[in-house]
Amino acid sequence: MNELVFFINNVVIAGSVSGSIYAIGAVGVTLVFSIMRFAHFAHADMMTFGAFMVLLLTLLFPGAGDAVGLPTAVVMLPLAMLFTALLAVGIDRAFYKPLRAHGVKPIVMVIGSLGVTLMLQGLIRLFAGTGGQSLYVDDRKEILRLALPFEGARAPIVITEPQIILFVLTIAAVVSLHLFLTRSRLGKAMRAMSDNPDLAQASGININLIVAVTWIIAGGLATIAGTLLSLDVTFKPDLSFFILLPIFAAAIVGGVGHPFGAIAGGFVVGFAETLAVFNWSVLLRPFRDSLPEWLAQAGNLAFVGTEYKIVVPFFILVAILVWRPTGIFKGKVI
Amino acid sequence: MPLLDARDVHGGYGGMNILNGVNMAIEADEIGVIVGPNGAGKSTMLKAIFGLLTVNQGEILLRGEPIHNLPPNKLVQKGMGFIPQEKNVFPSLTVKENLEMGAFLKPHNTRRMLETVYGFFPPLYDKRHQPAGELSGGQRQMVAMGRALMAEPDLLLLDEPTAGLSPLYMNEIFERVKEINAAGVGILMVEQNAKQALAIADKGFVLAAGQNRFTDTGAALLADPEVAKSFLGG
Amino acid sequence: MSTQNEPRSDLVAAPSRLPKRELALFAALLVVVLGVYAVMGGAYSTRMLVEAACYAILALGLTIQWGYAGQFNAGVMGFVALGGFSAMLFSVPVNEAFWASELPGELGLALLYLVAAVLVVVGATRLDRLGLPKRWRTLIAVVVAVLLYLVVMSELRSVTEEIHSRVDFVGGLGLPAWTGWIVGGALAGGMGYFIGKICLGLRSDYLAIATLGIAEIIKAFLKNSEWLTRGTATVSPLPWPTPGPAELGFTLARALYLSLTAVIIAAIFFLLHRAYHAPWGRMIRAIRDNEISSAAMGKDINRRRLEIFVLGCILMGIGGGVLGSFNSLFDPQGYLPLNHTFLVLVMVILGGPGNNLGTIFGAVAVYIIWIMSEPLALFLMHFAADIGQAWFGWDSPGNLDSRALQARVFVIGLLITLVLRFAPKGLLPEKVKYHD
């Protein structure tokens, strides 16, 4: 039984955590992709920027969380989302819009977004340094230990407060995004523009408005994803390219331009990562006596070491590009 | 004052002129039909009116107001609707959502106009929750026309609305065009089925090589032996 | 959004003229180099020039991918690291302790297992030819692959851990450095083939994503394979193919190395120039400028694209090898996206994508600015911190120096966006000549 608990702690919970983070990140990437038709490489640093905003606000108002009973960082999230959304719109006006107006190829936009990502990286690290920092400035990280009501299960299921917040926020973000895209006029116009930009224009839809709305959503979602990531571990200013690969893999697995596919893709990548670094020999331990010796002796049956975690999203990316480049839910942008 | 008045329009893509002086005028309650051989510039003229390509010379007036080289979304505000020949629906949006997009600039009218459009095209009401990409070609054309009508246009531009449709649907579409026109919407359409189209046309424009060859009422053009010989297949 | 309809001024073939722009830019560059020589001395400026020359090789690799063919490689760092690794492996002295033990045999055996496992899996994917339903074939192939992977990996892991703990690392081959450079080019080309094969038929963004990923993976592999590269413990010194500073003194030895790199660049330049004006080069440019009509004319687009991508990667591998040997140090952690991917990108887009001369100019000019910006950034940061302390009583954070260097990250990013917006064709634009 203890092995099962170990499995739940290390795979089910950990996989859901990274899956949620990738999912929210990938939704932002896929929305930008579907409206502006380029892979936005600055998304990871937008996430970091959002988390950095949360950190700053938490440092400014350390007591705010106590008043509500939530970690201060979570209380500060809406404000940080607003700032990041404004930043995203500003970046678009300053850097992407002129390129679009020139009618450049999408790949030039990609290079432009790499330039933007470097600028963000430089700014964030200039002010935040390169070391990790906890978002829990004044309050304590609650850790819940749920004992299982079974005979023989001595180890408890461990889940932390930020992880619970993370699941709640993920569900809230997905539901509100769904309502926005299917019920609101602007959300439908976004889908229309992703379907057929020319016809959207011919219908009188204001392209600049839709682009701005897309950036606001992308910035807001990036803040949520970055904050969740930082709450779960610590705020690390130098994740950038490491977080970018799983997010792009998730967006492509889900079919680019397909927000709910991106969510599924996020969980696929998140679970694949945790399953790949999980040491399977733990699960074999209870059957030690009935196994052949070479298998029982194997100390480490993980597919990849944690230092090679980044191989997993890459492998998924390669597999999906070879097998089905449109993604599991046929994406619109190939 | 004519609803649409295009005078000596020259225009094309990237410096190359396809239109070399086209004249076209229709009144508010008329159906205008553009016919002519392939490459005559029929669809190009429609796109020039709708601001999708550059007009280098001449002018286009809507109710006396110059509109050439305005962007499409401004033209929609001024009461013009355009239905492209291909890719004329949002495939992943439902029929109802497609129609709503037509009323993007006038959201308060949505409910009333939805009823009007469903009145014109009853099959759309039954399929309103289906993605438009799953519909047949004729039904898509209905969605496209409905979408354009949602903005309550004064002038509707149709680019070959019957292309690729079965004869049954073709008649249906022509009937609808007449009904829409009877409801007070000016129509300007490009058609391959010249005889059928000229039969319902108040004004007919026969284009060749980017210029007017014949301009008259639809009935007169049908009766003209020269037009019949060169452009209507005898 | 995706088509460019504006008239291109470079469509008109210019009559042959004195290349004033080129001469002016290179003359300015010469003045700057001489200035650096006068201020910083011979040893410093020759080192700077050699490094700039190595970057010029990398930049040439990128300019043919991006400038000739419109392929964007966001993982130059990975190919450079492969070249550096290969230079290290071939040139470092032989580790006698390793070869005297039974470990080479065990390692060879583990590698044989690996080859056998690959063959078995490939065989399993062909099972459908024996009449097995495709679904069964896929299932069997996947299960076999997973099992064999686990077995081979645990075998390999135990051998490599043994190597690392008993003899430190496998050591080198003790061959001349240039053998490593060539093999480095081949390794990088092979990796490029693998990536290109998968991505080049798809949207151009996917190539950028995949190359970015492979670069980080190559770095992770080199960093964590202590048995092969000593990992973070680094390997040094790497022998030079030319007489080293110990024999000739810094300036002369570096000048000799510089002339070697100059010969390499000249050779690459000459070959590229020939290829660019040959039918092959015309075909490449035709594909870049109008893919659909080229396909309609019966050109095998994906094959040509793959050729150009692999060629670019080979140059990056060679450049990485030359750079690695010159630094005389193999440190996997020293490979940074900023220094080895984005710096090269700036060189290419600033110099003129698709223009070899412009690319070399961009490489040298940007590298000088880059080198000079480090002390400048530190100076400015300390200056700002001092002012802050004196006037407002701020305490400067402890890791000031590492933060100051982040300002350069910002500047590189800003430079990329500015060049794309205001000088999209670079300082020396590609001259597209027709009817030549």
* pLDDT digit string, tens, across residues A316-328: 999 998 888 888 8
User: In whole numbers, what is the pLDDT of chain A averaged over residues?
Assistant: 86
Q: How far is C386 from chain A (nearest CA, A)?
A: 16
- In which band, very low, low, confident or very high, does the pLDDT at A191 lie, cut at 50, 70 and 90? very high
Chain C nearest-CA residue for A127 = C403
Give residue A73's pLDDT band: very low, low, confident or very high (50, 70, 90): confident
A·B CB contacts under 8 A: 63
| C6 occurs within a structural domain | no
Count the domains in chain C.
Answer: 2
**Could you tell me the pLDDT band of residue C428, with boundaries at 50, 70 and 90?**
confident
Give the pLDDT confidence score for residue A125 in this predicted structure: 84
B101 and B28 in one domain?
Answer: no
Domain assignment of residue B169, yes or no? no
Does B174 reside within a domain? no
* Phi, psi angles (nearest 5°) of residue B8: 50, 55
Residue C392 pLDDT exceeds 50: yes
* pLDDT, tens only, C110-129: 999 999 999 999 988 888 78
> Residue A266 pLDDT more than 50?
yes
Chain B positions touching A195 (Cβ under 8 A) are 90-93
Across the interface, whether the CB atoms of A199 and B88 are under 8 A apart is answered yes
What integer pLDDT is reported at residue C2 of this predicted model? 40
pLDDT-above-90 percentage for chain B = 31
Across the range B65-84, mean pLDDT stands at 88
Query: Is A334 within a domain?
Result: no
- A208 in B contact zone (CB under 8 Å): no
The 10s digit of each residue's pLDDT in C253-271 is: 999 999 999 999 999 999 9
- Label residue C13 by pLDDT band (50, 70, 90): very low
Position A146 confidence tier, pLDDT thresholds 50, 70, 90: confident
Residues of chain A with pLDDT > 90, as a percent, come to 47
Q: What is the pLDDT of residue A296?
A: 58
Q: Which domain holds residue C143?
A: 96-167
> Are C179 and C156 in the same domain?
no
Are B90 and B2 in a shared domain? no
Does C355 share its domain with C327? yes
Cis? peptide before C237, omega within 30° of 0: yes
pLDDT of residue B1: 79
The answer to whether residue A134 scores a pLDDT higher than 90 is no
Distance CA(C160)–CA(C226), nearest Å, equals 8
Rounded to a whole number of angstroms, the distance from the CA of A71 to the nearest CA of chain C is: 27
Distance separating alpha carbons of residues A219 and A24, to the nearest angstrom: 11
CB pairs A-C closer than 8 Å: 169
Highest mean pLDDT among C2-6, C33-37, C389-393: C33-37
Provide the chain B residues 135-174 that lie in CB contact (below 8 A) with chain A.
147-148, 151
Which residue range(s) make up the domain with A156? 2-323
Give the residue-averaged pLDDT of C180-190.
96
Is residue A329 included in any domain, yes or no?
no
What whole-number distance in Å separates Cα of residue A231 and Cα of residue A226? 9
Residues of B in contact with A188 (CB under 8 A): 93, 97, 100-101
Q: Please provide the DSSP assignment of A288-325 as one string.
A: GGGS-HHHHH-S---SS-GGGTTHHHHHHHHHHHHH-T
- Low-confidence winner among B34-43, C1-10, C239-248 (lowest mean pLDDT): C1-10
Q: Of the residues C167, C190, C211, which one is the last residue of a structural domain?
A: C167
Structural domain span for residue B136: 85-152
Same domain, C58 and C125: no
Q: What is the pLDDT of residue C1?
A: 38
Nearest CA in chain C to B53: C5
Q: Which of C167, C199, C221 is the last residue of a domain?
A: C167
Structure tokens that stand for B92 in this block: 């992943």
Q: Is residue C429 part of a domain?
A: no
Residues in C touching B14 (Cβ below 8 Å)? 5-7
Q: Label residue C10 by pLDDT band (50, 70, 90).
A: very low
Q: Is residue B170 assigned to a domain?
A: no
Q: Is the dihedral of CA B63, B69, B70, B73 positive or negative?
A: positive
C92: closest CA of chain A, how far (Å):
26
Q: Count the neighbouring beta carbons within 10 Å of the beta carbon of residue C15.
A: 5
Question: Is residue C414 helix, strand or coil?
Answer: helix
For C208, residues 6+ apart whose C-beta sits below 8 A from its C-beta are A39, A41, A107, A110, C72, C73, C74
Report the number of distinct structural domains present in chain B: 2
Measured between CA atoms, the residue of chain B closest to residue A183 is B97
Residue A330 falls inside a structural domain: no
Looking at the structure, tell me whether residues C142 and C244 fall in a common domain: no
The pTM of this model reads 0.89
Structural domain ending residue among the three candidates C145, C167, C189: C167
Tell me the percentage of chain C whose pLDDT exceeds 90: 42
DSSP bridge pairs for B61: B5, B66
Q: Are residues C87 and C100 in the same domain?
A: no
Classify residue B228: in a domain, yes or no: yes
Question: B15: which chain C residues are within 8 Å (Cβ-Cβ)?
Answer: 7
What ipTM was assigned to the predicted interfaces of this complex?
A: 0.89
- Examine the pLDDT at C84 and tell me if it is beyond 70: yes
Exposure string over B129-138, b if 16+ CB within 10 A, otherwise e: eebbeebeeb
* Closest residue of chain B to A197, computed from CA coordinates: B90
User: Average of pLDDT values for A224-236?
Assistant: 87
Q: Which residues of C282-309 are buried (b: 16+ CB within 10 A; e: fewer)?
A: ebbbbbbeeeeebeeeebebeebbbbbb
Taking contacts as CB-CB distances below 8 angstroms, the residues of chain B near A201 are: 71-73
Instruction: Identify the residue with better confidence: C291 or C215.
Output: C215
Torsion of CA C156, C159, C163, C164, to 10 degrees: 60
SS3 at position A67: helix
Query: Over the stretch C318-356, which tens digit does the pLDDT of each residue have?
Result: 999 999 999 999 999 999 988 899 999 999 999 989 889
C315 vs C398: which has the higher pLDDT: C315
Measured in angstroms, the CA of B200 and the nearest CA of chain C are apart by 38
Q: How many domains, chain A?
A: 1
Chain A CB contacts of B77 below 8 Å? 204
Q: For residue C427, what pLDDT is reported?
A: 86
The mean per-residue pLDDT over the stretch B34-47 comes to 87
Q: Which of C212, C411, C420 is opposite residue A108, by nearest beta carbon? A: C420
- C380 with C295, same domain: the answer is yes
* Helix, strand, or coil (residue A236): coil
Lowest mean pLDDT among B10-14, B213-217, C342-346, C351-355: B10-14
- Flag if C402 and A129 touch (Cβ within 8 Å): yes
- Report whether pLDDT(A86) > 50: yes
Whether A112 maps to a domain, the answer reads yes
- Confidence class for position A295, pLDDT limits 50, 70, 90: low
pLDDT of residue A1: 66
Q: Which of residues 67-106 of B touch A (CB under 8 A)?
A: 71-73, 76-77, 82, 84, 87-93, 97-98, 100-102, 104-105
**pLDDT above 90 (res C219):** yes
